A and B are shown apart, each in its own frame.
Chain A
Amino acid sequence: MNLLQIAGQGSWGLFFGRFHPLLVHLPIGMLMIAFILEGLSKVKRLAFLSAAVLPVMIFGALSAVLSCIAGYLLSLSGGYEDDALALHQWLGIGVAVIAVLLCVLHRMAVLKKLWFPLSGVMIVLLSAAGHYGGSLTHGDDYLTAALPGRQLPKTASITSIPDAKVYDDMVQPILEQKCYGCHNAQKLKGGLRLDGMEHIRKGGENGPVLKDSLPEASELYKRLILPENDDNRMPPKGKPQLTPQQVEILYWWIEQGASTTAKVKELQKSPRIQLVLEAMQPSGTGDHPFIPETTPGPVDDQAREALEAIGVKVMPVAAGSNYVMINCVNASGFSNKDADLLLPLKSQIVWLKLTGTQVGDSALQVLAKLPQLTRLHLEYTAVTDAGLPVLADCKQLRYLSLVGTKVSDKGVLALQRNKALRELFIYKTAVPATAISQLQQALPETRIDTGGYTMPVLATDTTVYKKEG
């Protein structure tokens, strides 16, 4: 930092400096309105407006100068990134200088022609200074991050708590959410950056903020639990505070040595953190065995409507997911020729229920082209042995039900090549026991359910218990 730092101590200079964010809005408004009035006064009917330009301009210039002074005093408190600060500072001074010049030159006939363009330049500088000022306060991606289509930073979605990395998946998102605002590359309040482990280790102007394994001795934790009115409390009064759970996580992380690589399961857990972790356990989002890990593009609306027109229900597997499940429970007439309608959704279909429809072997040729298919219901359809071999190409297929179909040993054995298969239902089919054991050997992890369960006849099935006599 090349600027004098007066952190820690209050002073009249700093006090006045803090009026900068208030004052800057005066020149912005006034200079803008002077420019607009000047522009409007060029219209004959509104020529009388020109009389107002100079007074407004004078007040604008005055407030611009005051803003510059306040801004300089504020910058002395430090904590801002040098480059952005310098840019903002000189742009602001430029605005003030031009504004003063414009006041002086307003009545000079020679410069009458130049006055309006020059004020235009001032407006450009004013906008730029305002923008950089905003970036200094809120961070340089504050504006662009909110563009439509941009992903707003959100708390990382953790799929499995035990495998989550404590620093990357839990600590950093908390710091990002609640601390980065003031402790980042542009705005180093207290000389401290928290956006990266090397910066955290470096500490701030009052020394290190982290003592490994000693949360009570680490500023990074201590300041979180100070009374809200304490000047050293972090985040300061009025800013979004950490939740008790977040404080608990930071405590636990420091207590366990502030590692950047450790996973939740590798660290010791107190009953308190156990409760916090349990509450964080996501509601089973990521680890669903029937949802591939990749994310496809959105479903083509026309293709969906074509299916829905014949009564087929196309549903996202979850709100916001592009994967779909397809159910033909209301479309019992769904047949081989309709199967082609599924193709435009081939990268989105994960679950497909064709139970009791008219589909047969030729539809299976189409299904084999659905690379993401994990669950397939073909119960009570006309599929036969001839069609099944192509299903081995569904590399993700985990669940297949062939209940009540005409398949037998030949068709089912063709599924041997499908190593992803975990559940196969062949109740009420003609698959002989020998083929099942052969298939089971080839696919040891697959649960093959042949059904036909029965219960023994017991004497107690019919015994009515009654008091004797």
Chain B
Amino acid sequence: MSEKIIQEANERAAKYFSRRHFLHNCMTGLGATALGSLLGGCNLFSGESGEEGMPQSLNPLEPRAPHFPARARSVIYLHMAGAPSQLELFDYKPDLQKLHNQLCPPSILEGKRFAFIRGVPKMLGPQAVFAQHGESRAWVSDHLPHFAKVADDVSFLKAVHTDQFNHGPAQLFMHTGSARLGRPSIGSWVTYGLGSENSNLPGFVVLTSGGKTPDAGKSVWGSGFLPSVYQGVQCRSKGDPVLYITDPEGMDRDMRYQSIQAINEVNKQEYETFKDPEILSRISQYELAYKMQISVPGVMDISNEPAYIHELYGTQPGQESFANNCLLARKLVEKGVRFVQLFDWGWDAHGTNEDTSIEYGLRNKCREIDKAMTALLMDLKQRGLLDETLVVWGGEFGRTPMQENRDGKEMPYMGRDHHAEAFTMWMAGAGVRRGGSWGETDEIGFSAVKGKTSVHDIHATILQQLGFDHEKFTYQFQGRPFRLTDVEGRVINEILG
């Protein structure tokens, strides 16, 4: 059967060299050569257009140099989908405790909109015990007892704000810089700009846990208007890491190689004719898929990690868990993968049932990530990888200092509504200040009073550490250059260096 495919490919290839094609190519070819030599001195596409990252070679994943020497070679982004409560984890507000169960002052609610809170809700004091940790005296609650021990390795951003209070748009905003569909995700921008160092693995890998993918769907790791070769490759932490990775029955690896070669040969000619970058994407994805058959099972298999590593992370091979994904993230980064995106679902603590309650559900989620993310930081550190790997942690927004009162009724459990005005994120590694903290919220944690940072600022900072000037890193689309940070973004120098 496969011989037939190859024969077909050869016949198709022959069609490209007919007399008609030859004559046609001669004419356009000569014209193009003449024009090219005339324009040789003009750097039409250099300079101001800022498209220094444009792929030059036939391989769109060829590694490329950033604008300036980078501090980070890789990024691990831990996204707590659903948005964890900053008020139970990092943003300690003793004054909020005093207001617990009292009605929220109307001055706070004036002109504000919430996803579910209606009327006048009651305040909800912090449902955790806080203490200061490490030399940096960082506030971390007893929900994260292990992480508290490495608080000195990270920098907290305590007054991040977003302009979206629904999960889908907020996640899109957090990962693509726009609340609407169609923009490339951070990881896509990064692989577009830097390519992939390891030619056997994708440059941008996505791992999910918590039973669901993010509300915004796969667009949060999509490539938007960038060629689709830069989109995130979702791997499963359970079963085959990538579906259909094994050869189908009756097809040996050699035959598979030959057929992929033949298909790519045809595709290359197609590219020569139409110059559609999507054809390059197709070629490189076929090639990568073939290589991944060998490389992926090795990298994605955590079962042959030593026992002390499993103990550190709390991993159990064969499960889908945040811990397994953390260990995988370390292994991938070690192999030169640029951007590893983790999504852990289940942080939407509205208090509608036990699993989404502040008292029970949130604590269980914290237990699931505490050891794993601490282990990730420790493991990166001891391997010398934290030095060149930027770790980012956060949700798509924060949670209100008020108790949720969905439809104006009292909830069966303690819960907090979506809150866009101020929440906490942290970053670590790759030139991020150790034991740093930037930004403050008011005494009840409602809004930022100092060091307010935006989602665009987070993006600018990530790009900065990877060696990009976020204002010059653009892609020409629909007649204008696009940036991850649009027309905003400021590098948060306060947590760098």
Contact = CB atoms under 8 A, between A and B. Distances in A.
Interface of A: 278, 281, 283-285, 288, 290-291, 313, 315-319, 321, 323, 327, 329-330, 355, 377, 379, 399, 401, 403, 423, 425, 427, 449-455, 458, 460-461, 463-467
Contacts, number: 116
B197 interface: yes
Given A313-B197, A451-B382, A465-B364, A284 B71 contact: yes
Contacts of B493: 278, 281
Is chain A's interface secondary structure helix, strand, loop, or mixed overall?
Answer: loop
B387 A423 contact: yes
Interface centre among B68, B334, B467 (most CB of A within 10 A): B68
Contacts of A449: 381-382, 384
B306 to A, nearest CB: 10
Contact of A284 (B146, B374, B464, B490): B464
A458 B149 CA distance: 13
Contacts of B314: 461
B367 interface: yes
5 contacts: A283-B468, A329-B336, A453-B312, A465-B361, A465-B363
Interface of B: 52, 63-71, 142, 145-146, 149, 197-200, 312, 314, 334-336, 354, 359-361, 363-364, 367, 371, 374-375, 378-379, 381-384, 387, 464, 467-469, 490-491, 493, 496
B361 to A, nearest CB: 8
A455 B371 contact: yes
B364 A464 contact: yes
A453 B382 CA distance: 8
B367 A463 contact: yes
Given A281-B493, A329-B197, A454 B336 contact: no
Given A313-B197, A451-B383, A453-B382, A318 B371 contact: no
B339 to A, nearest CB: 16
Nearest to B413: A467
A460 B70 CA distance: 40
Contacts of A278: 490, 493
Contact of B381 (A290, A399, A453, A464): A453
A318 B52 CA distance: 11
A455 B364 contact: no
A315 B65 contact: yes
A290 B63 CA distance: 20
Given A288-B68, A330-B199, A465-B359, A452 B336 contact: no
B383 A427 contact: yes
Contact of A317 (B69, B354, B464): B69
B65 A283 contact: no
A315 B63 contact: yes
The 6 A-B residue pairs with the shortest CB-CB distance, nearest first, are A451-B382, A425-B384, A453-B378, A401-B384, A283-B469, A427-B382
Contacts of B378: 453, 455
A313 B200 CA distance: 13
Nearest to A458: B145
A427 B374 CA distance: 18
